[in-house]
Structure formats: C-alpha cells, structure tokens
Amino acid sequence: MRELPTICVDSSEFVVSKLKDRGTHQAFGVVTNAQDFMHILKLYVERELTDRKAERAAGQTSKAPV
C-alpha cells in the first residue's frame, strides 16, 4: 500500500487552510477556480502522454535490428 496524494482545489483560501490545519500532510492545497485548474491539469497530462509516446518511439527505434 502506498500513500496517495490529495489535491484540494477551492476558490476560498479558508477551505484549503482548514484542510492543512486538520493535519492532512499528504494534501496539496490550490486556491483557484476549479475550471482553470482542470484546464491546466489537462494540458500537463496531455504533455506527459506525448512525452511518453516519444520516449517509447525512440526506444523502439534504437532497438531495431541493423
């Protein structure tokens, strides 16, 4: 079993602070509009997937017989 990080997104700093005050140390607090957060998250996930595909393609090319 491994620790799973939690992300708290809220437009109110009070909610994020309350989460930290309760001792939720594995939580990350983000004070922003949820729509903006989801848009940025989507961009980073898409970038990560593109990078992984490029790494796999490069790895398969280097393993090809000569």
Rounded to whole angstroms, the Cα distance separating 52 from 36 reads: 25
Rounded to whole angstroms, the Cα distance separating 30 from 37 reads: 8
* pTM of the predicted protein model: 0.58
State yes or no: pLDDT of 6 exceeds 60.
Answer: yes
Residue pLDDT, tens place only, 51-62: 999 999 888 776
Q: What is the pLDDT of residue 39?
A: 93
Q: Determine phi and psi for 5, rounding to 5 degrees.
A: -70, 150
Q: What is the pLDDT of residue 7?
A: 81
Mean of per-residue pLDDT scores for the chain: 83
Q: Are the beta carbons of 3 and 26 closer than 8 angstroms?
A: yes
* Position with higher pLDDT, 24 vs 41: 41
Q: What is the pLDDT of residue 30?
A: 85
